[in-house]
Amino acid sequence: MKRAGFANYWLPILLLLPQLTIIAVFFYWPAFNAVQSSFYLQDPFGFGSQFVGFENYSDLFASKEYAKVARFTLLFTLLVTATSLATALLLAVKADKVLRGARTYKTLLMWVYAVAPPVAGLMGVMLFDQNIGSVTDLFAWFGYDYRLGVNYWDTAFAMIIVSVWIQIPVNFIFFLSGLQSIPQHVREAAMIDNPSGFGRFWQITFPLLAPTAFFLLIINITYALFDTFGIIDTLVKNNPASNPMTLVYKVFVDGFRGNDMGGSSAQSVVLMVLVLALTIFQFRLLERRIHYT
């Protein structure tokens, strides 16, 4: 067998160079900078800075507020991930069975994907607004005084609903294509063995969807942790106050709003470590239990 290869070492390096440069400039260099500035307290304009060792980190871990934000981030990620995956799966299973007008259903369920997070956030602001929001009116009709921006859990509710809403279409598309890739003969065999639709779903369909579900789980956790920034920013309306926020939004609030470069760098290093741990955990532990066919 003929071994394909390059005649010398320079050509492959040359061909890889653009990609390596991009990674170095846009990933490693900023990451290195963040680690470095997390050990300093810096004048916002960059005139003075003082080496403070691990003080930024110790301040962070001693802060009750940071702990509260971390707890909320965990809860938010769990709820957004679980709700959007479950809803999308249900919709996909139902849409899979539709024969007439399937294309219309699917399009109607998918278009939301095209809405940008800040736009979704703005729609949330309108729907949940204290003075003019229609969801607020609905709550009032049930006798509940819904207060976006005043009540912590009311604001959290709006953030979760909007974040889930915008994420369902992505999950829906993947689940649907996963369902449609399950071979017909497997379904037919299952139909003979088990007449219960519910049992068939959990014993046959769901395990066969596991690779898709696992992939989506990672995508959704990442989404809830990072990509919901635009939604949170618009719902908070430039007033962090007592509103719930995620760790990523806190980095922005302290660094870009408060101009505390050192403190917010320390926070972003914590996030880097978190993401690293999450990635290792997911691939080492969870992937073993999934059977790819």
Partner 1 sequence: MNLKNTLLANAVALGMATAATAQTEISWWHGMGGSLGDTVNQIASDFNASQSDYKITPVFKGTYEETLTAGIAAFRAGEQPNIMQVFDAGAATVIGAKGAVVPVQDLFAANDVPFNIEDYIAGVRYFYADEDGKMIGMPFNSSTPILYYNTEALEKAGVTAPKTWEEFESVTAPALKDAGYIALAQSHMPWIFTENFFSRHNIPFATNNNGYGGTDVTINADAPELKAHFEAFKSWIDNGYAGFFGAAWDDNAKPFESGEVAMWLGSSGSFGGLVQKADFDFSATVLPYWEGVTKEPKQTFIGGAALFAMAGKSDAENKATAEFFRFMTSPEVQYMWHKETGYVPITEAAYEMAKADGHYDRFPAAETGIQQLQLPAGEWTKGYRMGFYVQIRDVMNREYTRYLTGETSLDDAFGAIKSEADKLLARFAKTQS
Residues engaged in binding partner 1 (CB under 8 A): 41-50, 52, 59, 65, 129-131, 147-152, 237-242, 253-254, 256-260, 262-263
Query: What are the CA-CA distances from residue 230 to residues 213, 223, 227, 245 (Å)?
Result: 25, 11, 7, 12
State the residue for tokens 């691990």: 54
* Cβ atoms < 10 Å from Cβ of 37: 21
CB-nearer residue toward partner 1: 3 or 64? 64
CB-nearer residue toward partner 1: 30 or 44? 44
| Shortest CB 74 distance to partner 1, Å | 20
| Shortest CB 57 distance to partner 1, Å | 13
Q: Which amino acid is at 19?
A: Q
| Shortest CB 228 distance to partner 1, Å | 20
| Shortest CB 145 distance to partner 1, Å | 11
CB-nearer residue toward partner 1: 73 or 205? 73
> Which of 106, 223, 122, 215 is closest to 167 using CA atoms?
223
> Which of 258, 256, 231 is closest to 244 using CA atoms?
231
CB-nearer residue toward partner 1: 30 or 197? 30
| Shortest CB 255 distance to partner 1, Å | 9
CB-nearer residue toward partner 1: 42 or 84? 42
| Shortest CB 188 distance to partner 1, Å | 58
SS3 content of the chain, % helix, strand, coil (to 5): 75, 0, 25
| Shortest CB 262 distance to partner 1, Å | 8
> Which of 208, 246, 254 is closest to 227 using CA atoms?
246
- Angle at 182 (CA atoms; ends 180, 185), nearest 5 degrees: 120
CB-nearer residue toward partner 1: 143 or 195? 143
Rg (CA), the chain: 24
- Asked if residue 264 lies in contact with residue 56, where contact means CB atoms within 8 angstroms, the answer is no
CB-nearer residue toward partner 1: 54 or 281? 54
- Asked if residue 247 lies in contact with residue 267, where contact means CB atoms within 8 angstroms, the answer is yes
